Structure 1
Amino acid sequence: MDLGAHRVVVNHEDQYSILPVAHAIPQGWRDAGFQGSKDECLARISELWTDMRPLSVRDAARG
């Protein structure tokens, strides 16, 4: 296993983060389906996470 590899994780509020693949995914987070270098994961997050507001705030704003 490449200890330098990371994965993208996401929580119930659609907030993204990265985590080394060697670490267990914490409760409340799930695998977002992307692994790579730290820079690749951060680039993927910038593509996916275009609205920084938590999901509950976005939903409330929609009415």
Structure 2
Amino acid sequence: MSNPFEDENGRYLVLANAEGQHSLWPVSVEVPGGWDVVHGEDGRQGCLAFVNATWTDMRPRGLPVP
């Protein structure tokens, strides 16, 4: 069985947590608690494009600004 998190032809969601961190998530795997769907079912490349366009600051929201 292949890893559903690395399937180039798989269907994914984009999740975000309270800190604004994003994750590609296979539609076949239950969304974990503390994460919300911010981009609905799409191909891997579509989800990556969404992440690249919207998650521009990789720092967690709770991190103090220097």
Q: Distance in 2 between matches of 1:43 and 1:33?
A: 11
The alignment's C-alpha RMSD in Å is: 1.8
What TM-score results when the alignment is normalised by the length of structure 2? 0.77
Q: 1:13 aligns with which of 5, 11, 19?
A: 19
Overall identity of the aligned pairs, in %: 34
Q: Distance in 2 between matches of 1:26 and 1:34?
A: 15
Tell me the equivalent position of 1:37. Answer: 43
Give the structure with the larger helix fraction: 1
What TM-score results when the alignment is normalised by the length of structure 1? 0.80
SS state at 1:40 partner: helix
- Letter of the 1:40 partner, please give it: G
Q: Which segments of 5 or more consecutive residues in structure 2 lack a partner in the other structure?
A: 1-8
- Letter of the 1:38 partner, please give it: R
CA contact (8 A) 2:39 2:47 kept: no
Q: CA deviation at 1:34?
A: 2.8
